[in-house]
Chain A
Amino acid sequence: MPGKQVFTLDLNGRETEVFAPADATLLDVLRDNCALRAAKRGCNQGVCGACTVMIDDVPVRACLTMAGACGGRAIRTLEGYGDDPVMGRLQEAMNASGGVQCGFCTSGLLITARNLLAESPRPAQAEIRSALSGNLCRCTGYVRIVEAIASAAEEVAR
């Protein structure tokens, strides 16, 4: 098919080959070709944060990342955190706190939160609120999400 090409991606620790349109974004490839659908398409403009993933240990928007610019870079999506105890704490805290409502923002938000805890193990409430400002949630009003991240951070630090 014209305009398609093979991308070789380092995806959740596994070398993965996909055949996709040349101008596919990383989000397109994850969702359509790799059946990795934790990252959601909320706006396709980089604003909502629902598609946040890690590339080379830095959180980025999958919708603003061209698949063709991902060669040789380590991509990690929420599905790739099964063995990460810090992510496990965050997931458990989100479950218990009421920070999960419709869940559409949750995957991207967890990636951002996981990165925050890597950078700042015991973030203050204001720091959490600032770090999450690019992950929109329309359901919760953020109170329980902030609480969940603070409590997970406490547990991890302990």
Chain B
Amino acid sequence: MNAEFDPSVGTAVGRSTPKLENREKVTGRAEYIDDLYRPNMLHAAILGSPFAHARILSYDVSEALAAPGVVGVITGDDVPAGRMGAFIKDEHALAKGKVLYLGEPVAAVAAETLEQARAAVNLIRVEYLELPAVLSPEAGLAPDAPILHEALADYIKVFDAGSTGNLCSRTELTEGDVDAAWAGCAVIVEGEFTTQAQAHVAMEPCGALAEMDAQGRVTLWSANQSVFRVQANVCESLQLPMSRLRSLTPRVGGGFGNKMEAHIQPLTVALAMKTGRPVKCVLTREEDFEIVRARHPFRIRMKTGADAEGRLIARECEVLLDCGAFADDSPGVMGYALLMSGGPYRIPNQRATGKLVYTNKLRFGAYRGFGNPQVSFASEQQIDEIARKLSLDPIEMRRRNLLQPGDGWFVGPKVASNGLSACLDAVEKASAWGRKPDAKPGTRRAKGIALSAHISGLLGTGAIVRMLEDGTISLNTGATDIGQGSDTALAQICAETLKVPVEMVSVASPDTDGSPYNWGTTASRVTYTTGRAVAGAAGEVLRQAMGHAAEMLDVPVEDLELREGGRIAIRGSNTDLPFAAISGRAHWAKGGPIVGSHTLVFDEPTHDPKRAIALGLPFPRIGVFSFAATVVDVEIDEVTGQARVTEAWSAVDVGRAINPRLVDVQIEGGFIQGMGFALYEEMVWDGPKLANPSLLDYKVPTSADSPHVHSIIVEDPEPSGPFGAKGAGEIGLNPVPAAIANAVGAALGGVSHDLPLTAERLLPRIIEAEHAA
């Protein structure tokens, strides 16, 4: 434990403060993108491509332009040639020259009413030359495969991607000597696993509203996870100087990676610039399924070896990812999945390689877990498989291999705090692991376990803290709160640093004009990275306030202390000054207004060249590690094969819970989203066309089929984190499919190779078990 860590509840940190914006949400007054209106505003509708792969030969928009209410139409001819992308800049604001997936926006209409816009898009005539489509990564790698991005070699790439043909990127990580290590293994298990595309289904569909002023400067509101990534993507694709675009956010109706990079912001801005009027574009649920992004389907080949005592010796992992039509966050997802493919264990010899292949489907991209749930599904089942072969209890098997405090991570990241063992102990006890659950007649039932680690960190962030004239505090970070409560947690960090009640801190809404840079609400990073910036900026405010107080009280700074309620006092005395007095002096008499700012970029290297070889690693600097253990109790109906989770226990080491209730909800919400992924959520394609782009056909968990989830917070403070905190946003989801698969394995025997674990997939295993009995 870190000696400086104070486990007691502070002024603000450690309290389950209700979220700052809850009252507007429970009264229905919170405004999301579709609730925003501007005077003279137009409504937009999008024309999607009818082909998965085609050249655009010509457009005829005359009929659409003449339609009632239509003010403007844009096609690929109206947008500049700029390309955007987080890792590989391969995507225009709107299809230009070619379409690369069915439904891809090829044109858009702005009209006085939404109905008029929707009617008019059908009047746009586009002439295409259809091309053969690539519908799987395997097909994309075939020697004679049609090529999606003919200019791939010329695209800007921010890492060594190794792109060629339809291969978007490749990554190879090696530590130890895997090939030699197999000989020393008493047990080797090997298998192939596939996982499916999962839709994010944030309850709010994506949307944007853009408006250009008389100077030609554009203001853009959108459903987002980063106003800064929105700004960068729009400006890259439309070739605008970033200073010409102001990106703002209304309340965001959930984001799980889908709102991190661009969706329809670039085309909405293009329409606003074309028409000179404010334009709002909000996707239908169907469009949200078809044109935003989704979780990557993985094909995974994994091989694991252990000695006779169950100690892991070698792990090999090879993945093939469907990239979809654009790179988006895919190289990062693959690189991260490979980095996490060993799981939170000591494995001296590891090799992880992957290929990411362009296909004519919508882009796959960031989704809570970022590749980790997929590799964990394979990895954690192989741990159980080895345990079964060695007649070891799955928990005992894991205990023998846990990554220990002080151990580094695969290829080199340092791991400081590590509460993994405590997580395992906690779920073992809470779930009464040793007690076998009773199966009702007609059902099979068993428990399963899985562990996970996840990073929080990555890239740049900043905070500005201002002490207002009356001594209250204004916090501005640029971090979009997507509902998870980061505004509240950051206000708590700020309040704790300044020993003021959290009600005294106001949180500014992110605004690229006025907020310090924040890469985004992603990578479980806001509490950890932005929290560090907030603690730093608030600390700077305190330093300045102390300086004022020292002059005002005529004592050395060393004799001063900060007291509850925002007062600076002479140690051992009743003499103190409220912030109001200090800030009043600074504003009106001496020194100038008190403003503290702090910025940082996460700069610990991912790769240690002395330890491992890494090729095509998209993240040179990654983050700090959180840990989790999850136990599920699963019941399977013998008639149909349908599995359901009856109860779940999830323990997560978050370093320090800034707001315990908000951490609980991350664990619980992550669990249920992972359960949907494990059991039935699946985007299904009928040829190139998504067959289930609606909530009637694509099902997400309801309250009635979701179990009670027992969330358990483990606190092993992270020395670099604000008050010891590290991330909690994604890790709760990672182990869920694996834990459920392990419970199914315990109930039915065998390994689950393919997700989701539908009734259709489990019934044959029940029938097999019936025949065996």
Contact = CB atoms under 8 A, between A and B. Distances in A.
Determine whether A and B are in direct contact in the complex, meaning some CB atoms lie less than 8 angstroms apart. Answer: yes
Interface in B223-259: 251-256
Contacts of B28: 37-39, 77-79, 106-107
Chain B interface mostly: loop
Which of A47, A91, A130, A133 has the most CB atoms of chain B within a 10 A radius of its CB? Answer: A47
A138 B698 CA distance: 13
A141 interface: yes
A128 B23 CA distance: 23
A50 interface: yes
A79 to B, nearest CB: 6
A97 to B, nearest CB: 8
A128 B703 contact: yes
A98 B662 contact: yes
| Chain A interface, >50% SS class | loop
A144 B665 contact: yes
B201 interface: yes
B19 interface: yes
A26 interface: no
Contacts of A38: 27-29
Nearest to B671: A141
Q: Which of B201, B482, B706, B709 has the most A CB atoms < 10 Å from its CB?
A: B706
Contacts of B205: 41-42
Nearest to A91: B26
B203 A48 contact: yes
B202 A145 contact: no
B284 interface: yes
Contacts of B150: none
B672 A106 contact: no
Interface string A77-96: 11100000000000100111
A136 B26 contact: no
Interface string B653-669: 00000000110110011
A9 interface: no
Contacts of A41: 34, 205
Nearest to B36: A37
A42 B28 CA distance: 14
Interface residues of A, number: 51
A41 B29 CA distance: 15
Interface in B18-76: 18-19, 21-32, 34-35
A100 B16 contact: no
A137 interface: yes
B18 A103 contact: no
B536 to A, nearest CB: 28
Given A48-B695, A132-B703, A140-B665, A103 B670 contact: no
B115 interface: yes
A73 B711 CA distance: 44
Interface in B371-424: none
Contacts of B665: 98, 101, 139-141, 143-144
Interface in B183-223: 200-205
A138 B202 contact: yes
A95 B23 contact: yes
A102 B204 contact: yes
A51 B301 CA distance: 45
A140 to B, nearest CB: 5
A101 B670 contact: no
A83 to B, nearest CB: 13
A40 B204 contact: yes
A84 to B, nearest CB: 12
A31 B33 CA distance: 13
Contact of A101 (B201, B254, B695, B711): B254
A28 B670 CA distance: 33
A102 B664 contact: no
A58 interface: no
A100 to B, nearest CB: 5
Nearest to A126: B704
Contacts of A145: 703
Contact of B670 (A21, A39, A104, A141): A141
A31 B37 CA distance: 11
Given A42-B204, A42-B205, A100-B19, A138 B694 contact: no
Nearest to B672: A141
Contact of A104 (B16, B200, B254, B695): B254
| Interface-centre pick from A45, A105, A134, A141 (highest chain B CB count, 10 A) | A141
Given A141-B669, A143-B708, A136 B285 contact: no
Contact of A142 (B26, B202, B672): B672
Contact of B696 (A45, A91, A106): A45
16 contacts: A38-B28, A40-B253, A43-B285, A44-B284, A79-B28, A98-B18, A98-B664, A100-B26, A101-B669, A103-B253, A133-B703, A136-B201, A137-B203, A138-B200, A138-B669, A139-B665
Report, nearest first, the 8 A-B pairs whose CB atoms are least far apart. A38-B28, A102-B483, A103-B25, A104-B253, A141-B668, A141-B672, A133-B704, A47-B695
Given A42-B204, A142-B672, 14 more contacts: A31-B35, A37-B35, A39-B28, A40-B32, A41-B34, A98-B661, A102-B254, A103-B30, A103-B253, A104-B483, A125-B708, A138-B254, A140-B668, A142-B703
